[in-house]
Amino acid sequence: MCKDAKILLVISALFTFAMGLSNVFVNIYFWRETGNFIVIVLYNLTHYITTPIAFVFGGILAKRKNSMWSLRIGLMLYAIFYVLVLILGSKGSLYIYMLGLLYGLASGFYWLAYNTLSFDYTCINNRDTFNGYNGCCGGITAAIAPITAAYIISRFTSLRGYTIVFTITLVVFVLLMITSYMIKCKNYGSKVDIKMVFSKINDQWSIILKATVLWGFRDVIIVFVINILIIQTTGSELSLGKLTLLSSLISSGSFVLVQRVIKPQKRKLSTYLGTVGIFIAVWGIAYKMAFSTLVIYIIMDALFLPFFTIQLSSSTFNVIDKTNEENMRIEYMISKDLALNGGRIVSSLILLLLLSIFKSLSVIKIYLLFIAAVPLFSAYYLRKVLE
């Protein structure tokens, strides 16, 4: 890997550390303030809607200048998000949708740049290695951060612990912005082809989009749902931190395992192993919501998830490589993110509908089974690219 790819891994690790410190607990913070699950879903829905919008604007900026502009704007918006959370304090829940919008904009600008740079600094021969190291480094930092944040939060009464954690996160984002200046990126001076973003590019890319939409149904949505269920079951942020630590350590090992064991001819098997594993993991929670079943879910999900996500990520970039349209890679990234967040939005709307109709959190068990099953269909489509 080139020097810039290694620096990008450092940025990714620091970013994961910052997210591990605070993002795990932002939903919990707002849930403790409001006590309303529907409000939390709406908060997440807000940033799922605004993220693809920011992706488009980030893409326009990246093509006129370069991807580093979009990356730094994303990091700056994340920093502003945590500044506002600190300033608003206990009044933050009153501005929850505004904060969701800001978070979505930050996500869009950051991930457009990160995905584009990941493509630029890797190739078909080393992409699995890059994703494997990225997953491993991210897993280690994701292991350290939540347990550290949980310990700080548990040491203080009221919401003071959250204030300290959000402050540390803000400092990390400042360090990230400084680190970003170590990466060199050339200017492009071109325009985004919006028509291409919304058109059928080729058959293989259409398959990637279908797999991505279906993956979006589960993706990050299951994380905030499970985190709140852990708090409801244990009543302790420290317990959430410990389970997140366990998940991250297992996930790090799994990423390394996939990188070393899964060769190109076994990628199809890897996708099925991953999606079947994460589907089975949810059944214990659906049967009985208890600390023991949550632990089983955490272990199985962390173990099997990398078997699928590495293949989806690498296949996406490999399809772009095969088209020989590297100069249109930003259009591909925007197209992919529209698909991903489209799945997230539809999934969130389904959850909102279920909660509104049945007025009981028990319906979440059915919802978890549903979103855990959908990636099986994602793997079905993805196998066509891996053949």
Give residue 193's pLDDT: 80
**Quick one: pLDDT at residue 119?**
78
Both structure tokens of 301: 């999900």
Length reported for the chain: 387
pLDDT score, position 187: 64
Q: Per CATH, the architecture of 3-181+201-386 is what? A: Up-down Bundle (1.20)
Distance CA 93, CA 39 (A): 9
Which one, of 20, 277, 294, 278, lies nearest residue 143 by Cα?
A: 20
Using CA atoms, how far apart are residues 381 and 168, in angstroms rounded to an integer? 42
User: What is the per-residue pLDDT for 324?
Assistant: 66
Question: For residue 214, what pLDDT is reported?
Answer: 94
The two three-digit tokens of residue 111, written as one number? 């991930």
pLDDT, block means (10 residues), the chain with 387 residues = 79 88 81 83 92 90 84 92 82 82 94 85 73 76 83 79 86 90 73 80 88 91 87 85 86 84 82 94 89 93 91 85 75 90 93 86 87 93 82
Instruction: Region of 200 please: left (phi>0), alpha (psi -120 to 50) or beta.
Output: beta
Per-residue CA distances from 320 to 59, 331, 387 (Å): 16, 10, 16
**Angle between helix 203-216 and 329-358 (nearest 10):** 30
User: 10 Å Cβ neighbour count for 360?
Assistant: 9
d(CA 9, CA 129): 12
Question: Model-level pTM greater than 0.85?
Answer: yes
Helix crossing, 221-234 with 329-358: angle to 10°?
40
For the residues of 164-188, what is the DSSP string, one character each?
A: HHHHHHHHHHHHHHHHHTTS-----
Do residues 229 and 235 touch, judged by C-beta distance below 8 A? Answer: no
